[in-house]
A = this chain, B = another copy of it.
Amino acid sequence: MQASLAVSSFQPAEAPWLDTILKGDCVAALDRLPERSVDAIFADPPYNLQLNGDLHRPDQSKVDAVDDDWDRFESFAAYDAFTRAWLLAARRVLKPNGTIWVIGSYHNIFRVGAAMQDLGYWILNDIVWRKTNPMPNFRGRRFQNAHETMIWASRDAAAKGYTFNYDALKAANDDVQMRSDWLFPICTGAERLKDDSGNKLHPTQKPEALLARVMMASTKPGDVVLDPFFGSGTTGAVAKRLGRHFVGIEREQAYIDAARERIDAVVPLPSVDLSLLTGKRAEPRVAFVSLIDAGIVRPGMFLYDARKRWVAKVRADGTIAAGDRVGSIHRVGAQVQELDACNGWTFWHYERNGGLTAIDELRRIARLGMERAGA
């Protein structure tokens, strides 16, 4: 495995909107952006909470619920229309291999997910954000609502080239693949922005750790991340810290001002700490015959599977022969096992020091030689 610093080909000079917050209605602002211009979208739309009356804790203190105007919709139909409009406008702006994240709760996420499918987005995962410290259910009439749901989707089903930093995530997760359920605390303490009165500035500020996992998983350094419901600017702050560009859209000037100040204070991490661990997929391809060309493998050399059930002989043209089966290391490996496919690099071994070593080791040596030669 190796670390590489892949940077998109984006040219900042061409885009004055980069790393800025656009003021205005979400759809109108999206329509002003060029099509296919952003690598990823993170959206935290209004939840359509439908709270009736006030909610009180057992001690009769009032819960500061989300009751802002922007979270009120006349009906499910109105919410659906709003949802489809911004999802459609966002899809135009997304690059063909870009992906979108949308976070929500049971109040709205089902409508959002259905709308995304209807518009052609292809769901890759639904991710559960499990909260370490969720608000209790004060009335004891339901389960404690201890999670929120994020939908991760590509632009369409055919888009296979989306970014997913599988190897880095796996290495960071004690060498097992990252699951669809994530555990994070809610945003509190010093991270939570306050207004002049000391009250929370924004009702639904998300934790930076959540956004960091999202961006580390699905973007590369230098990518552009769009947030059409920018709010307190968590997406921008994390993007800047992680060496990504951002574009925010927000209607309220108070949020824009606070987010701008917040982001300006962020110090980006040095790029050396940001490079992504990449796996075999990112390594240059090596043809088996080039090992012969390099003198690492000689015609006539014998190859065995790990248990020496089969043997094959290397031929001068880069094919191998096992009995009357002749072909590539992959094809012959598949044939002797009577399988459809086989990775010959890991299947075939050679004798070394009285034991067997996979020829993948020879490929590694060949790659080292190619690097020195500046190939």
- Give residues in A with beta carbon < 8 Å to B: 1-3, 56, 60, 76, 105-107, 109-114, 116-118, 123-128, 130-134, 136-137, 140-147, 149, 151-152, 164-175, 177-181, 183-185, 209, 212-213, 216-217, 242, 269-270, 273-277, 279, 285, 287-290, 292-295, 299-300, 313-319, 321, 326-328, 330-331, 337, 339-342, 369-370, 372-373, 375
Closest partner residue, chain B, to A140 (CB atom):
B166
Q: Is A328's CB under 8 angstroms from B172's CB?
A: yes
Which of B152, B184, B318 contacts A171, CB < 8 Å? Answer: B318
Known: A172-B287, A289-B172, A321-B3. A125 touches B109 (CB 8 A): no
Complex alpha-carbon distance, A276 and B128, angstroms: 27
The residue in A131, A145, A184 that gathers the most chain B C-beta atoms within 10 A of its C-beta is A145
Provide the residues of chain B in CB contact with A141, threshold 8 Å.
124, 164, 166
Provide the residues of chain B in CB contact with A142, threshold 8 Å.
124-125, 164
Complex alpha-carbon distance, A172 and B332, angstroms: 12
Q: Is A287's CB under 8 angstroms from B174's CB?
A: yes
The residue in A142, A299, A340 that gathers the most chain B C-beta atoms within 10 A of its C-beta is A142
Q: Is A109's CB under 8 angstroms from B110's CB?
A: yes
Provide the residues of chain B in CB contact with A144, threshold 8 Å.
177-180
Complex alpha-carbon distance, A337 and B146, angstroms: 32
Which of B106, B117, B172, B178 contacts A111, CB < 8 Å? Answer: B117
The residue in A136, A166, A173 that gathers the most chain B C-beta atoms within 10 A of its C-beta is A173
Beyond the given A109-B110, A270-B300, please list 6 additional residue pairs across the A-B interface where CB-CB is below 8 A: A76-B117, A132-B369, A174-B285, A175-B330, A184-B293, A185-B369
Complex alpha-carbon distance, A183 and B114, angstroms: 26
Closest partner residue, chain B, to A113 (CB atom):
B110
In the complex, the 7 A-B pairs of residues with the closest C-beta atoms, listed nearest first: A172-B318, A110-B113, A172-B289, A209-B293, A146-B179, A106-B126, A132-B373
Which of B76, B110, B136, B172 contacts A112, CB < 8 Å? Answer: B110
Provide the residues of chain B in CB contact with A328, threshold 8 Å.
170-172, 174-175
Closest partner residue, chain B, to A1 (CB atom):
B327
Q: Is A326's CB under 8 angstroms from B3's CB?
A: yes
Which of B165, B166, B212, B277 contacts A326, CB < 8 Å? Answer: B277
Provide the residues of chain B in CB contact with A337, threshold 8 Å.
60
Q: Is A76's CB under 8 angstroms from B146's CB?
A: no
Shortest CB-to-CB span from A212 to chain B, Å, is 7
Provide the residues of chain B in CB contact with A109, threshold 8 Å.
110, 113, 126
Complex alpha-carbon distance, A227 and B209, angstroms: 41
The residue in A109, A149, A181, A328 that gathers the most chain B C-beta atoms within 10 A of its C-beta is A181
Q: Is A183's CB under 8 angstroms from B375's CB?
A: yes
Q: Is A173's CB under 8 angstroms from B273's CB?
A: no
Q: Is B269's CB under 8 angstroms from A299's CB?
A: yes
Closest partner residue, chain B, to A145 (CB atom):
B180
Provide the residues of chain B in CB contact with A111, threshold 8 Å.
110, 113-114, 117
Q: Is A317's CB under 8 angstroms from B276's CB?
A: yes
